[in-house]
């Protein structure tokens, strides 16, 4: 029963992502920008038809669709299996839940729109970061937590010799 409650994590991340994208699609047109903190943070509607940071846009749309569908399915199966496994510790389950929720959000975009809706837009001086969304944020935070958990586990498996 406890594992059932964990399902609320990826579901919540998914709903937050889809809700934020629905709101931004009702609020802005593609390329339109709304300043939140002028000179630093904007809401700017864009569509990423490629992979991370817009890569692979040179591929024909049907090839991208098949590639992204296969990669997404493989990731969902792999991370989903780890997420529901009884022996998965809480910290790993937290990380995996965020990754799954974000991956599902971006996957639904790709299937439904053929592109991922991006709108969080940051500028640092003269450097303009890539526009992203909540799903990307959930995936990144989940990956960092998962990586940190793996480092802690690895250190625990190989104790430092004492003098």
Read off the pLDDT of residues 131-147 as tens digits, 9 standing for 90 and up.
999 999 999 999 999 99
| Residues 97 and 10 sit within 8 Å (Cβ to Cβ) | yes
Catalytic one of 17, 109, 121, 136: 136
Q: Cα angle at 21 between 16 and 24, to 5 degrees? A: 125
Q: For this structure, is 121 an active site residue?
A: no
Does residue 162 belong to any structural domain of this protein? no
**111, part of any domain:** yes
* Number of domains within the chain: 1
**To which H or E segment does residue 57 belong?**
none
Domain region containing 33? 2-157
**6-20, 62-76, 109-123: the lowest-pLDDT one:** 62-76
- Among 17, 109, 118, 121, the active-site one is 118
The model's pTM: 0.85
Query: Which residues are paired to 67 by β-bridges?
Result: none
pLDDT of residue 141: 97
Q: Could you tell me whether strands 33-37 and 127-128 are parallel, antiparallel, or unpaired per DSSP bridges?
A: unpaired
Residue 58 domain flag: yes
Instruction: Identify whether the C-beta of residue 107 lies closer than 8 Å to the C-beta of residue 14.
Output: no
Q: Is the pLDDT of residue 64 over 90?
A: no
- Mean predicted lDDT score pLDDT of the chain: 87
Please report the pLDDT score of residue 54 as a whole number.
Answer: 64
Q: Is the pLDDT of residue 51 over 70?
A: no
Q: What percent of the chain has pLDDT over 70?
A: 85
Residue 57's pLDDT is 63
Closest CA to 102 of 66, 146, 61: 146
pLDDT confidence of residue 118: 97
Joined together, the tokens standing for residue 61 give 């749309």
Q: What is the pLDDT of residue 40?
A: 96
Geometric angle at alpha carbon 146, from 105 and 143, rounded to 5°: 40
Q: Is residue 70 in a domain?
A: yes
Q: What is the DSSP letter of 122?
A: E
pLDDT at 52: 66
Has 118 been annotated as catalytic? Answer: yes
What is the average pLDDT across 17-39?
A: 97
């Amino acid at each position: 029963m406890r594992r059932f409650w964990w399902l609320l994590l990826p579901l919540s991340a998914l709903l937050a992502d889809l809700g934020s994208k629905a709101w931004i699609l009702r609020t802005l047109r593609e390329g339109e920008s709304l300043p939140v903190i002028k000179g630093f943070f904007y809401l700017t509607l864009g569509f990423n038809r490629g992979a991370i940071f817009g890569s692979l846009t040179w591929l024909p749309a049907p090839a991208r669709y098949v590639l992204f569908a296969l990669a997404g399915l493989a990731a969902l199966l792999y991370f989903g299996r780890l997420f529901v496994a009884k022996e998965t510790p809480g910290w790993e389950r937290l990380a995996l839940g965020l990754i799954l929720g974000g991956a599902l959000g971006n996957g639904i975009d790709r299937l439904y729109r053929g592109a991922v809706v991006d709108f969080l837009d940051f500028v640092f001086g003269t450097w303009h970061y890539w526009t992203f969304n909540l799903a990307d944020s959930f995936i990144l935070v989940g990956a960092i937590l998962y990586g940190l958990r793996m480092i802690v586990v690895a250190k625990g498996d190989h104790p430092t010799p004492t003098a």
